[in-house]
């Protein structure tokens, strides 16, 4: 089993700085950083998008750009539990087969994305896919 460790440092300028073991940083708290609750849908689309691009490349699809958005529904009262995340994938390129895009999303969700695997039983996750020919 793999063990991962991340770190957080707080400083007097009211910044919370998250850092992984390779020193990549994320600054929390607005206006100069990301809202902590935004990290959950961001992690989900980051994880699936990486897989989708790699799968499409292996399938020799002419993907030149991938735009992904996540719309998250949260409770309005503490602890503001997430209830649903809807993901929109837009693959831009030449000759991309929409069915292969949908298959790549399915493979990511069912086989590769650790964030999806962790969240799928905790909240509703839906998605849609679109291909834009250039």
Q: Is residue 48 domain-shared with residue 63, that is, in the same domain?
A: yes
The domain tally of the chain equals: 2
**Do 74 and 114 lie in a common domain?**
yes
pLDDT of residue 30: 72
Same-domain check for residues 9 and 69: no
Same domain flag for 26 and 58: no
Q: pTM value? A: 0.92
Lookup result for tokens 């209830």: 83
* Pairing mode, strands 15-19 and 25-28: antiparallel
How is residue 6 written in tokens?
């991340």
Indicate if 24 and 44 belong to the same structural domain: no
Alpha-carbon distance 65 to 43, whole Å? Answer: 19
Same domain, 69 and 105: yes
**Longest Cα separation, the chain:** 52
Looking at the structure, tell me whether residues 13 and 59 fall in a common domain.
no
**Res. 11 pLDDT band, cuts 50 70 90:** confident
The reply to whether 8 and 50 lie within a common domain is no
Under 8 Å between Cβ of 48 and 31: no
The answer on 125 and 77 residing in a single domain is yes
Q: Are 34 and 27 in contact (CB under 8 A)?
A: yes
48-98 pLDDT tens trace = 999 999 999 999 999 999 999 999 999 999 999 999 999 999 999 999 999
User: Which CB contacts under 8 angstroms, 24+ apart, belong to 71-77?
Assistant: 71/41, 72/37, 72/40, 72/41, 74/37
């Amino acid at each position: 089993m793999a063990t991962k460790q991340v770190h957080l440092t707080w400083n007097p300028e009211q910044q919370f700085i998250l850092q992984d073991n390779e020193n990549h940083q994320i600054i929390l708290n607005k206006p100069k950083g990301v809202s902590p609750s935004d990290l959950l849908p961001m992690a989900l689309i980051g994880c699936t998008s990486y897989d989708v691009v790699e799968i499409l490349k292996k399938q020799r699809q002419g993907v030149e750009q991938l735009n992904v958005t996540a719309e998250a529904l949260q409770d309005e009262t503490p602890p503001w539990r997430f209830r649903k995340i809807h993901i929109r994938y837009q693959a831009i390129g030449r000759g991309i087969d929409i069915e292969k895009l949908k298959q790549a999303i399915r493979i990511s969700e069912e086989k590769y994305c650790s964030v999806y695997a962790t969240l799928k039983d905790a909240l509703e996750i839906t998605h849609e896919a679109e291909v834009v020919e250039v």
